[in-house]
Amino acid sequence: MLAFALALVTAAFAAVGSGVAAARTPSGAPAQRHRQAGTTVTVTVQDNVFKPKSIEIDPGTTVKWVNKGRNLHNVLPNKGHLFGTDSLASGKSYSFTFKDPGDYPYYCSFHGAPNSGMAGSVTVRGAATGSTTAPSTPGSTAAPAKPRTIRVPADSPTIQGAVDQANPGDLVLVSPGTYKEAVTVTRPNIVIRGLDRNTTILEGSFQLANGIIVSGANGVAVENLTARDYQGNGFYWTGVNGYRGSYLTAYRNGDYGIYAFNSTNGLFEHSYASGSPDSGFYIGQCNPCNAVIDDVVSEYNQLGYSGTNASGQLFVVNSRWDKNRAGIVPNTLDSEALPPQGNAVFAGNVVFDNQSPKAARSSTAEFDAVFGSGIAVVGGNDNIITKNLVLNQARAGIVIAPNPGIQQNAYQSSGNKVTGNVVRGSGLADLAVLATPATANNCFSGNTFKKSSPANVEKAAPCEGTGTGDFTTGAIDLSPFLDTSKNPAATPYQQTPVPKKQPNMRNPRTSKAVPATSDKVPGTLPDLTKIKTPKKK
């Protein structure tokens, strides 16, 4: 998630620009201790973090988790079912009284995994501490000799029932219809496919959490389906090695559309996401990610793409990002593991009109600091931004900026290369570097543009040779970015536009089921020499 500063003064930017990164939350902080049994200790649940992350209590103490964030969360124990809740809506709370000494690690499955991401722990005094391992994935990892096709509703009335029957290599084939269920997949190396993308629909009715969540099950591919109207995510993979989403439609979901977290070796292709108050497509907390997003459309979201701490062999290519509040936003945050973000490629994309009042907006106002930006790198390093067509952004076409940090570390953006892009029609600047010194070595060459900040950015910071280093002439006023209260209104995600029909995969009834094993995804990585700059949107 992107947490750009809301009420940050210019002095804070200057501190970042000089290389001062003030740590707000030290890593490895000791557990907060609460010694009085019979009392209640509160843990705040907020977007991507539990605060405090670790607590130490006496037996008989009650822990109360209060969701003060905008997103749906849950509290799941790493092992067993002693405590926890699978749904904790914004403003709600859950309490449990711990009586037995021991260690109780837990996590939010929507935004973390056991021991990583959005995770926390309770230690009840009176026993030696020790780590608790995540539960093993059920089912055999060896594919049966004859993979089966399990048909819904012919063989199972529900998608969940069919998934629970599946063995590695099996195909769950879903007939057209509206399925009011939230599906959890823990069986590895299976394929879930709809017979018609537009009429095979998982329906959340704004009450259920996720359309499909793949939790810790490697190699699961989901194809040719629609997920709509969920409180959380449309399609979601967490803690897996090997994943694929093909010909998917996700719209009007309350968090992300199509989402991979703490996962590697993945592919999102030929898919559509809209109406998310976070991002339409998201890949986060992976290094190296070894993942590709190719030939997708993302519109009417807070962010078209968000990639928090997603680094290494990550390609976002040949896709369309339009009518969001901001387009493509790789970023760094301490609330997820593996900071800083870096070494990703964004190429061959069409990015336009990312200031739509019809897009959903996060209730977390600082998300909107990049409103009206086409491609914004926020605290990211060594990314390649090349051969994109970026049109008609209200503020900045392509912008490089720090994440200055609120309650977290500050991160500079450095070493990013912006080359061969066509950028025009931007309100403030087609190419911009905000609050970032020349010594950060971001560079610009071969772009087609009219105005930049600093002025003549390709002379100030060229990708070859020595630049002038003058980053003061033509600097942008930061106030439009910092004061998000003046940004235009948005549309509630439940009321964002319904998409038109999307293309189906070929021969969904007869095509062979190919699980997303790590040797098959993402496949051949994109060749930048073969990607061309789009000429029209």
Same CATH fold assignment for domains 32-124 and 149-495: no
pLDDT of residue 233 exceeding 80, the answer is: yes
Compute CA distances 368 → 11, 177, 433, 438, whole Å: 21, 37, 18, 26
| Predicted pLDDT at 365 | 63
The CATH code that applies to domain 149-495 is 2.160.20.10
pLDDT of residue 230 exceeding 90, the answer is: yes
Is residue 427 within 8 Å of 395, Cβ to Cβ?
yes
| Predicted pLDDT at 180 | 98
| Predicted pLDDT at 430 | 98
How far apart CA 271 and CA 278 sit, in angstroms, is 17
Kindly report, residue by residue over 268-305, the tens digit of the pLDDT: 999 999 999 999 999 999 999 999 999 999 999 999 99
| Predicted pLDDT at 266 | 98
pLDDT of residue 441 exceeding 60, the answer is: yes
Domain ranges of the chain: 32-124, 149-495
- Sorting pLDDT into bands at 50, 70 and 90, what band is 484? confident
Q: What is the arithmetic mean of pLDDT over 68-92? A: 83
| Average confidence score pLDDT of the chain | 88
CA 306 centroid distance within chain:
5
Nearest Cα residue to 306 out of 285, 337, 290, 323: 285
Residue 412 vs residue 127, higher pLDDT: 412
Q: What is the arithmetic mean of pLDDT over 73-94? A: 84
The burial class, CB within 10 Å (0-12 / 13-18 / 19+), for 27 is exposed
pLDDT of residue 235 exceeding 90, the answer is: yes
Q: Which fold has domain 32-124?
A: Immunoglobulin-like (2.60.40)
How far apart CA 77 and CA 371 sit, in angstroms, is 37
How far apart CA 366 and CA 240 sit, in angstroms, is 30
- Sorting pLDDT into bands at 50, 70 and 90, what band is 472? confident
pLDDT of residue 40 exceeding 70, the answer is: yes
pTM: 0.84
| Predicted pLDDT at 407 | 56
pLDDT of residue 141 exceeding 70, the answer is: no
Residue 370 sits at the vertex; the CA angle it makes with 364 and 372, to the nearest 5 degrees, is 120
| Predicted pLDDT at 310 | 98
- Sorting pLDDT into bands at 50, 70 and 90, what band is 488? confident
Is residue 390 within 8 Å of 397, Cβ to Cβ?
yes
How far apart CA 168 and CA 61 sit, in angstroms, is 43
- Sorting pLDDT into bands at 50, 70 and 90, what band is 9? very low
The 10 Å Cβ neighbour count of residue 10 is: 12
Q: What is the arithmetic mean of pLDDT over 75-80? A: 83
pLDDT of residue 374 exceeding 90, the answer is: yes
| Predicted pLDDT at 380 | 97
How far apart CA 96 and CA 353 sit, in angstroms, is 48
Q: What is the arithmetic mean of pLDDT over 234-257? A: 97
How far apart CA 412 and CA 19 sit, in angstroms, is 7
pLDDT of residue 142 exceeding 60, the answer is: no
pLDDT of residue 139 exceeding 70, the answer is: no
| Predicted pLDDT at 418 | 98
How far apart CA 108 and CA 73 sit, in angstroms, is 6
80-94, 119-133, 393-407, 443-457: the lowest-pLDDT one: 119-133
pLDDT of residue 428 exceeding 90, the answer is: yes
| Predicted pLDDT at 34 | 64
Nearest Cα residue to 443 out of 427, 424, 466: 466
